[in-house]
Structure 1
Amino acid sequence: MRAVDVERGEAVFVPLTRSVRHLIDATIRTEVDDETVFAARALIERATELLAAQMIPGSFGVHPTTEGGTVAWGNVAIGIRNPVAPPLVIHQDADGSVHTDVDLGAACEGPPGHVHGGLCALILDHMLGATAHQPGNPAFTGTLTVRYVQPTRLGRVHAEARVDRHEGIKTFAVGHIADADGTITVEAHGVFIRPKKTSAGGG
């Protein structure tokens, strides 16, 4: 697997992914005539041919970087090369909690004018997981309980999460989503499991 040059990758692929997000939004909301749609489709198919000329097998997964880290640019929540991702930019607070602010547009719609509940669950799953994660000791979702307090309007939303407590290999985390007015619309409680480490060469 070839190591990723982060600086070059961000410079090249962030604008490409942003363009595809704009395309998705335009596809949903366009009201142009049929002839224009057909012309646009031909251009999109040509762009797809160009990009598909050389591809990695399967999904993006986790790639090493030339700086010695890793990137998950295909991730559906944070992937900078995934136009389906909002994408979330996670901010770590001094107390270990995390937060993000993100704009959710037409591509995120469930009920008219509101964010799909499944996307809210996705955001909270990732946020709770981010605060439960420890460097070198990842935590995986065991259970996630989501309570929809009221519909979440499309537009700017704020999400935050924190660890409630640890019990052995389990981390209990809580979080919520709030709308642009600061009203909490979705709450979540999750249990995240840290796999037990096994010693090398153990029988």
Structure 2
Amino acid sequence: MSEPMTQKLDVRSGANAEPSNGVNDGLVPVYRPTTLTPDALREQDEVYGALTQAVRGLNEAQLRTEVDPDLVRVVTAQIESITARLLVRARAASFGLELGHDGGAREHGNPVLGLRNPFAAALGENAMFWGEKDAYAELELGPLYEGPPGLVHGGVLALLLDQLFTEAAAAAGMPAMTVNLVVNYRRPTPLGTVGMRAWLESIDGAKRRLKATVYDPEGNVTTESECLLVLPKAIEAGNLWPKRPPRPR
């Protein structure tokens, strides 16, 4: 059977985004408002979110499986066929960042909290929540996030902290982007439930300084981190930072 032809959607002129309100100076990402109706967005998020979770389960299954090689070959061919079907109509590039009707960010490709990224750990009940000047999360980090045997990879923790810092700054009404991140690993972080909290320490003009801790289920601090965030002038001048509704503790 021949593979289906691929129709790519250029996000610069596709049905899901309007580029005219975007801004891009080479450093600042383009934020495009969606053109889908609220009902269409809800349906899209529901079905694509379910697809992502199914793929996430598949990712862990292929990591842990020990079935017969002949069955692996059959399943591999089936997955390749399904992949081709999904690419019959696809974006030409990455998802980027779209704005919902309320101005909220739809960063579905984000590797930490993207609704359509199967690697993203901060979704649903494990989402990153906002306080007044902080953000926190309780995540389930399983085999896909392993570094040393039975432990979370240090780079994964750094990735999660990077996102959590920007969430904490935004929660305090001081959104910005990371320019410096320091991570101190105090003790190994076991796979499983991992808690983390970041908070705003100080503000100096466009600079925001924050701190964070990571802790295990027993409350032991495994990682400490400090971060410097800066609000790019292009965003500050244009007031273009996407909103994210506050999430109650």
* TM-score scaled by length of structure 1: 0.91
Give the structure 1 partner of residue 225 of structure 2: 188
Give the structure 2 partner of residue 92 of structure 1: 130
Matched, 1:34 2:34: no
Matches within 5 A, 1:15-164: 15-88=50-123, 89-93=127-131, 95-133=132-170, 138-164=175-201
The farther-off stretch of 32-41 and 56-65 is: 56-65
- 2:141 partner letter: L
* TM-score scaled by length of structure 2: 0.75
Which runs of 5 or more residues in structure 1 are unaligned?
none
Name the CA distance, whole Å, in 1 between partners of 2:102 and 2:175. Answer: 21
Report the CA distance between 1:61 and its aligned residue.
0.6
Name the CA distance, whole Å, in 1 between partners of 2:104 and 2:160. Answer: 24
Name the CA distance, whole Å, in 2 between partners of 1:135 and 1:57. Answer: 36
- 1:45 partner letter: E
Name the CA distance, whole Å, in 2 between partners of 1:104 and 1:17. Answer: 17
Give 3-state SS (helix, strand or coil) of 1:73's partner. Answer: coil
Report the CA distance between 1:134 and its aligned residue.
6.2
Give 3-state SS (helix, strand or coil) of 1:41's partner. Answer: helix
Which runs of 5 or more residues in structure 2 are unaligned?
1-13, 17-33, 239-249
Name the CA distance, whole Å, in 2 between partners of 1:189 and 1:176. Answer: 9
Which runs of structure 1 show a deviation greater than 6 angstroms over 4 or more consecutive aligned residues? 134-137
Give 3-state SS (helix, strand or coil) of 2:183's partner. Answer: strand
Change (3 A) 1:185 1:6: farther
Report the CA distance between 1:171 and its aligned residue.
0.3
- 1:92 partner letter: W
Q: Deviations over 1:77-100 (max 9, x none)?
A: 11010012113511112x321111
Name the CA distance, whole Å, in 2 between partners of 1:163 and 1:70. Answer: 21
RMSD (Å), alpha carbons: 2.0
Name the CA distance, whole Å, in 2 between partners of 1:28 and 1:120. Answer: 20
- 2:219 partner letter: G
Percent identity at matched positions? 34
Give 3-state SS (helix, strand or coil) of 2:81's partner. Answer: helix
Report the CA distance between 1:154 and its aligned residue.
0.4
Give 3-state SS (helix, strand or coil) of 1:143's partner. Answer: strand
Kept in 2, the 8 Å contact 1:171–1:192? The answer is yes
Report the CA distance between 1:198 and its aligned residue.
3.8
Give the aligned length: 199
Report the CA distance between 1:47 and its aligned residue.
1.0
- 1:133 partner letter: A
Give 3-state SS (helix, strand or coil) of 1:7's partner. Answer: helix
Report the CA distance between 1:26 and its aligned residue.
0.7
